[in-house]
Structure formats: structure tokens, C-alpha cells
């Protein structure tokens, strides 16, 4: 049974990734103008011979199906995502990997903070349902849900960056700064990180709190909790040993599903703070209509979301035998 | 409707939405025609004053004027995008649920694919490519510029999957009811049963779902405009926010440039969410117990 479940999940994730790659392939073919024209768009006085040479060089003289499609899948599997239009023909993979770490640091840390804070808040408000923390928390979560990330970012930038001057507001490091030691550098990085990090954490915390709250409330009506109470266990013990472990389950899949939303937030928020990550890269590529980079980012983001969902399913199945059917 | 306004959160939502819809229908009545760089009434980035209570943007346009006209643009895009989304989701959901078998498994595989792919990322790559294909020149469809029409369709084709899931599961249970069997016995075709018997029974669900979809559509349009895919000649709230970011309004302390459209977006999305949740509670008794 277990192997069957695992196999089905893996197969479905694999098919999804193939479909994403196929969409990517088709989109490039759907664009107006022939591909060789797009490739040589900055070259003046293109002759027919040059066009023909480019067609042979890029394999465009072969039929779209199956030759070009197979060649595309092969090179994508090798990590060859083509060349950027804007960054003077640098490989897309290099362009992306130069920008990936700032995003992973910012959103990895932000997600971690939000998970810890959100789960704690949700557990508390669910436990003390109707208390003042619960009521205020509900209202705030609702407003935050309606607030786009970048708007929150702009407000924070104005208040804490400009009005109070607590933190720098632009980029990841002070431009042109000389550092005496690695610690100076780290401190500068840290002060630039604070504002966007707080916005990420605040933006996400509400969703985790809401799901944890309803999960705790649902768990509290289970018979094993009633039993634990009837046994005369203290409240804190019932919460920690009986309600919490079970209520944590649904949050596992939420963390993976959230990755898709985080991505949207990442792109817009990085632009507000000029954080040099994948988000600003995406907007730069959009402005320059640098399609190879856009497609590389699309592929990377979609595949990570699919893999995160797969991981969540597998972890869930490990924790809860009931779904392994 | 009566039940809706009797709930405090439903009432608040309905009031906010009514105000914004009035503004969206007749913006000219309140603030005159949309100002352009030529007809701007103020100077560059003026702070709020008696003449311009929300200040002006970098072209000297009155922010109150821009914000009120933004309501019309943002809400029109949201409404049309919701229509496309819900129509697609309902058709897919009813057909999959009612016909079943191969059609069902095929359609649901497609639906699952769209569910797992992050909506915004797909919209982000589809929008510029389709805009390039159709040419975002000055052509207008029903007074909406081409680039925005593209955004409407992209929101539609990227957001329908959760609606389809909900409608399908409802259709599955309706299919087993006696009135469907009776219709079949008197010789009604599949198409007729789906239109005349299934659809009227999922209307409530569609309405509640459409309200929540609207909130999502407004947010998605705002975000797409914010990354530069909107149209400067028909500035939605998201487009205005993009312009504010481009001139560095938050860093200059020009809060009035992004404050008004920002607050409007929050209010509208909040109102739709409140109404949607209230409708969900009214129409879906199971949910009520849990809250």
C-alpha cells in the first residue's frame, strides 16, 4: 500500500513538471516573430545567409515536433536554460543563481519566523477562543489578508525607514561601503534585512494563525481530548500532549501550499526594498522583455512549488497513516 | 440579502462595496473626467491641501481624481475577470461532475495542474507574451484597452480551478438526486439536465464563490499592474501604486501618492472577503458550527 501511494505521488509530480516544461516550450513558440529574428533582434542588416546560419546553429531548421521538443527537454534537464537577452548573453542559469540566495535568505527566515509565531498565536487563540487576543488577532489577520505585501512594505519603508530612520531602506548592503571586518559586513546586511524580513513574517503569520486556530478548535472536540480532560489532566498538559500534536498536521500541507503565495509576495516586496533577489530580477526581465530569464524563473518557481507539495504530501503520509490509501 | 445585512460583518462589507460601486459607475459626477498630463490641475507632487485634499502625483494630477477613477478601472477589471473565472470553473465543474468517467478524470487532471501551479507566476509569464501577441496598441474593447483585456483573460484562465473543484463536488451529489433521474426518464438530454436542473441548484454556491473570487481578482490585477503589466492610460489602483514606487514616493515621504489607492484596495478586498465569508456561513451550515 505504502509503495503504491509513494509511486502515485511521485508519478503525478513528475507529469506535472513535464507539463510545466511543455508550457514553457510552447510559450516561446507562441511569440510573434520567428525565433531567429528574436535571437538576432539587436543585429543590424541581417542577411538571408545569417538567418539560415542562425537557424542551423540553434536547431531551428529541424521540425518543431519531435526534434526541437526533444532537444528542449534534454537541454532543460541538463540545466541549460538558454541565454539572457538583457545580460549580454550570459547563461540564464548563471543570471538566476547569482540572485537566488538573497531571496532564499529573506523568505526562508521570514517563513520560519511566521511559522513559529503563527502556530503559537493560532494555538493560543484557538485554546482561548473568544478571548481578547483571539478577537484582535482575527481582525488583524483579516486586514492583513486584504493587504498586498508590497503595500505593507511601502508603509513600513515610510514609517521605519524614512520617518523614524531606524533602518536603511534600499538594497542589501550600503552602496560603496568599505568594511573593516566580516562582522561589519554582516551587521550592515542585517540592518538592511530587518524591514523586509518583518514584512514577510507579518504578511504570513495570519494565515498560519488562522489554520492553527481552526485546527486546534477541531481537535478539542475529539474524544481523546475529552478523555484526557476526564482523566483529570491539567489544561496545559492536555494542550501540549494531546491537542497540539494532532492539530499540527494540517499546517504541514499549508506550508507547502503557501510557497506559491510567498512567491508572489517575494517578487513585489523585493521591488519595494530593492532587495537584489529573484523578485527584482523578474521585474527587470519583465521590463526588458527578457523572455529566456522570465521562462527560467517560471520553471524554477513552478518546479519548487510542485516539489514542496510533494514533500508535504510525503511528510503528511508519514505522520498520519490514515491518508496512505 | 436580508440575512446578509443582519450580520455585522456582512453589513460592513455591503456598505463599503456600495460606496465603491457608486464611485465606479459615475466617477465623473464626483471628480470630473480623468485628469491627464495635459489637463492636470496641480503641480508636481503637492502635499494634500484644500485644493487637492489627497495631494497630486508627479504629473500634477489630482490624487482624489485618480483614486476615484481607479475604482472604476480596478472594479471593472475585477468584475470581468471574475465573470471569466467563474464561467470557466462552472462549466468545467458541472461537466466533470455530471458526465463523469473519462471526461471527469481528464478535466480533473487539468484542474489539479492549475491548482498546484502558483497562479501569480503563471499570470506573470502569460500576460507579457499574450500582450505581445495581440499587440498592446491603442485598440479598445468596450472602452477597455487591449493590455487590460489581456489581464482580464489571464486572470480568468489562471484562477478557475478552485471554482471547478467546488462546483464538481456539489454536482456529484446533485446527480444522485431523484429529480435528475426523473428528468432522465422523461427523455431529457445531458445538456438540458445540466442547464435546467444542475445549474439552478448550484447558483447559491456560485454567488458565494464569485464574491471571494472577486477579492482574489482585484488583488491579482493590482499585483500584475504593480510589476509593470498594467496600462498607464487607464490607471487602476495597482497601476498608480506602481507609478508611486517608480518615483520613489515611499522614500521621499510622499505618503499621499500611495496611501489613497492602497487604502482603497485594502477596503475593497476586505469588504469582498467579509461578504463572501458571511454568504458562505449562510449557505453552508456546516461551516457555521466550526466558527
pLDDT for the residue A81: 80
Tell me the nearest-neighbour CA distance from A218 into chain B, angstroms.
7
> For residue A147, which residues of chain B lie inside 8 Å, CB to CB?
265-266, 269
Secondary structure in 3-state letters for chain A: CHHHHHHHHHHHHHHHHHHHHHHHHHHHHHCCCCHHHHHCCCCCCCCHHHHHHHHHHCCCCCCHHHHHHHHHHHHHHCCCCCECCCCCCCEHHHHHHHHHHHHHHHHHHHHHHHHHHHHHHHHHHHHCCCCHHHHHHHHHHHHHHCCCHHHHHHHHHHHHHHHCCCCCCCCCCCCCCCCCCHHHHHHHHHHHHHHHHHHHHHHHHHHHHHHHHHHHHHHHCCHHHHHHHHCCCCHHHHHHHHHHHHHCHHHHHHHHHHHHHHHHHHHHHHHHHCCCCHHHHHHHHHHCCCHHHHHHHHHHHHHHHHHHHHHHHHHHHHHCHHHCC
Asked whether the beta carbons of residue A289 and residue B128 sit closer than 8 angstroms, the reply is yes
Asked whether the beta carbons of residue B116 and residue A263 sit closer than 8 angstroms, the reply is no
- CB-based contact, B125 to chain A, within 8 Å: yes
The single residue listed with the C-alpha cell 478601472 is B73
Structure confidence by residue, pLDDT tens digits, B211-268: 989 999 999 999 999 998 988 888 999 999 998 888 887 878 888 888 899 999 999 9
- CB-based contact, B286 to chain A, within 8 Å: no
What is the average per-residue pLDDT within B36-52?
79
Q: Output B140 or B100, whichever has higher pLDDT.
A: B100
Q: Output B167 or B60, whichever has higher pLDDT.
A: B167
Tell me the nearest-neighbour CA distance from B29 into chain A, angstroms.
28
Q: Which of B105, B83, B80, B85 is nearest to B95 (CA)?
A: B105
| pTM exceeds 0.90 | no
- CB-based contact, B201 to chain A, within 8 Å: no
ipTM of the complex: 0.84
> For residue A142, which residues of chain B lie inside 8 Å, CB to CB?
270, 273-274
Q: Which residue in A has a C-alpha nearest to residue B246's C-alpha?
A: A272
Q: Which residue in B has a C-alpha nearest to residue A210's C-alpha?
A: B291
Asked whether the beta carbons of residue B270 and residue A142 sit closer than 8 angstroms, the reply is yes
pLDDT for the residue A90: 82
Asked whether the beta carbons of residue A154 and residue B117 sit closer than 8 angstroms, the reply is no
> For residue B223, which residues of chain A lie inside 8 Å, CB to CB?
148, 150, 264, 268
Measure Cα distances from B155 to A30, B13, B81 in Å. 19, 24, 6
What is the average per-residue pLDDT within B182-208?
88
- CB-based contact, A218 to chain B, within 8 Å: yes
Q: Which of residues 141-160 of A touch B (CB under 8 A)?
A: 142-143, 145-148, 150-151, 154-155, 157-158
pLDDT for the residue A113: 92
Q: CA torsion B27→B28→B30→B32, rounded to 10°?
A: 130
- CB-based contact, A169 to chain B, within 8 Å: yes
Measure Cα distances from A186 to A192, A196, B235 in Å. 10, 16, 41
Domain chopping of chain A, boundaries: 3-77, 99-324
Q: Output A180 or B201, whichever has higher pLDDT.
A: B201
> For residue A267, which residues of chain B lie inside 8 Å, CB to CB?
120, 124, 227
pLDDT band per the 50, 70, 90 thresholds, residue B123: very high
What is the average per-residue pLDDT within B91-112?
92
Q: Which of residues 170-189 of A touch B (CB under 8 A)?
A: 170
> For residue B124, which residues of chain A lie inside 8 Å, CB to CB?
267, 282, 286, 294, 298
Cα(B220)–Cα(B230) distance, integer angstroms: 11
Asked whether the beta carbons of residue A294 and residue B290 sit closer than 8 angstroms, the reply is no
Could you tell me the mean pLDDT of each successive run of 10 residues in chain A, 325 residues long?
75 90 83 67 74 74 75 81 77 88 89 89 84 83 84 88 78 74 80 88 84 84 83 82 80 75 80 89 87 88 88 82 67
pLDDT for the residue A49: 81
What is the average per-residue pLDDT within B49-65?
83
Of A27, A30, A267, the CB nearest to B227: A267
With 90 as the cut, is the pLDDT of residue B18 above it?
A: yes
CATH numeric code, A99-324:
1.10.3720.10
Tell me the nearest-neighbour CA distance from B156 into chain A, angstroms.
17
Asked whether the beta carbons of residue A264 and residue B126 sit closer than 8 angstroms, the reply is no
pLDDT for the residue B69: 92
Query: What percent of chain B is predicted at pLDDT more than 90?
Result: 42
Asked whether the beta carbons of residue A142 and residue B245 sit closer than 8 angstroms, the reply is no
pLDDT for the residue A2: 57
Asked whether the beta carbons of residue B124 and residue A282 sit closer than 8 angstroms, the reply is yes
pLDDT for the residue A1: 47
Amino acid at each position: 500500500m505504502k509503495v503504491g501511494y509513494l509511486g502515485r505521488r511521485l508519478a503525478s509530480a513528475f507529469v506535472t513538471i513535464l507539463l510545466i516544461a511543455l508550457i514553457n516550450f510552447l510559450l516561446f513558440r507562441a511569440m510573434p516573430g520567428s525565433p531567429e529574428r528574436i535571437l538576432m533582434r539587436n543585429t543590424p542588416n541581417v542577411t538571408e545567409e545569417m538567418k539560415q546560419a542562425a537557424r542551423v546553429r540553434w536547431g531551428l531548421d529541424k521540425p518543431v515536433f519531435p526534434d526541437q521538443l526533444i532537444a528542449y527537454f534534454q537541454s532543460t534537464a541538463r540545466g541549460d536554460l538558454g541565454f539572457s537577452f538583457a545580460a549580454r548573453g550570459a547563461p540564464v542559469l548563471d543570471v538566476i543563481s547569482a540572485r537566488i540566495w538573497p531571496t532564499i535568505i529573506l523568505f526562508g527566515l521570514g517563513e520560519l519566523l511566521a511559522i513559529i509565531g503563527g502556530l503559537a498565536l493560532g494555538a493560543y487563540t484557538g485554546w482561548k477562543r473568544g478571548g481578547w487576543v483571539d478577537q484582535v488577532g482575527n481582525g488583524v489577520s483579516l486586514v492583513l489578508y486584504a493587504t498586498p505585501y508590497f503595500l505593507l512594505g511601502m508603509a513600513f519603508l515610510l514609517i521605519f525607514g524614512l520617518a523614524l530612520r531606524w533602518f536603511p531602506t534600499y538594497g542589501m548592503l550600503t552602496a560603496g561601503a568599505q568594511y573593516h571586518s566580516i562582522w561589519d559586513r554582516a551587521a550592515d546586511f542585517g540592518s538592511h534585512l530587518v524591514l523586509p524580513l518583518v514584512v514577510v513574517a507579518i504578511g504570513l503569520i495570519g494565515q498560519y494563525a488562522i489554520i492553527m486556530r481552526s485546527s486546534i478548535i477541531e481537535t478539542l472536540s475529539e474524544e481523546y481530548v475529552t478523555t484526557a480532560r476526564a482523566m483529570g489532566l491539567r489544561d496545559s498538559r492536555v494542550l501540549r500532549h494531546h491537542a497540539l500534536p494532532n492539530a499540527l498536521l494540517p499546517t504541514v500541507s499549508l506550508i507547502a501550499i503557501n510557497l506559491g503565495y510567498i512567491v508572489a509576495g517575494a517578487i513585489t516586496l523585493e521591488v519595494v526594498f530593492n532587495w537584489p533577489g529573484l523578485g527584482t530580477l523578474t521585474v527587470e526581465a519583465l521590463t526588458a522583455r527578457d523572455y529566456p530569464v522570465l521562462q527560467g524563473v517560471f520553471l524554477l518557481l513552478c518546479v519548487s512549488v510542485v516539489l514542496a507539495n510533494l514533500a508535504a504530501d510525503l511528510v503528511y503520509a508519514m505522520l498520519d497513516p490514515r491518508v496512505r490509501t | 440579502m436580508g440575512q446578509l445585512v443582519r450580520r455585522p460583518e456582512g453589513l460592513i462589507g455591503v456598505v463599503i462595496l456600495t460606496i465603491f460601486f457608486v464611485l465606479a459607475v459615475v466617477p465623473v459626477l464626483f471628480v470630473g473626467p480623468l485628469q491627464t498630463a495635459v489637463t492636470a490641475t496641480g503641480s508636481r507632487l503637492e502635499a494634500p491641501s484644500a485644493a487637492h485634499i489627497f495631494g497630486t502625483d508627479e504629473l500634477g494630477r489630482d490624487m482624489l481624481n485618480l483614486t476615484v477613477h481607479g475604482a472604476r478601472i480596478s472594479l471593472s477589471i475585477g468584475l470581468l475577470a471574475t465573470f471569466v473565472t467563474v464561467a470557466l470553473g462552472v462549466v468545467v465543474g458541472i461537466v466533470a461532475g455530471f458526465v463523469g468517467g473519462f471526461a471527469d478524470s481528464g478535466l480533473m487532471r487539468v484542474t489539479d495542474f492549475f491548482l498546484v501551479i502558483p497562479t501569480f507566476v503563471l499570470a506573470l509569464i502569460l500576460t507579457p507574451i499574450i500582450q505581445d501577441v495581440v499587440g498592446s496598441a491603442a485598440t479598445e474593447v468596450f472602452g477597455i484597452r487591449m493590455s487590460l483585456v489581456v489581464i482580464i483573460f489571464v486572470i480568468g484562465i489562471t484562477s478557475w480551478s478552485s471554482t471547478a473543484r467546488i462546483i464538481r463536488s456539489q454536482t456529484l451529489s446533485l446527480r444522485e438526486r431523484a429529480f435528475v433521474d426523473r428528468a432522465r426518464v422523461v427523455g431529457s438530454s445531458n445538456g438540458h439536465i445540466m442547464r435546467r436542473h444542475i445549474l439552478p441548484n448550484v447558483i447559491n454556491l456560485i454567488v458565494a464563490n464569485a464574491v471571494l473570487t472577486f477579492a482574489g481578482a482585484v488583488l491579482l490585477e493590482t499585483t500584475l499592474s504593480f510589476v509593470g503589466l498594467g496600462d498607464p492610460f487607464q490607471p487602476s489602483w495597482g497601476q498608480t501604486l506602481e507609478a508611486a514606487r517608480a518615483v520613489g514616493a515611499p522614500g521621499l515621504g510622499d505618503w499621499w501618492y500611495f496611501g489613497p489607492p492602497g487604502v482603497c484596495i485594502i477596503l475593497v478586498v476586505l469588504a469582498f472577503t467579509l461578504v463572501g465569508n458571511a454568504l458562505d456561513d449562510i449557505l453552508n451550515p456546516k461551516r457555521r458550527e466550526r466558527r
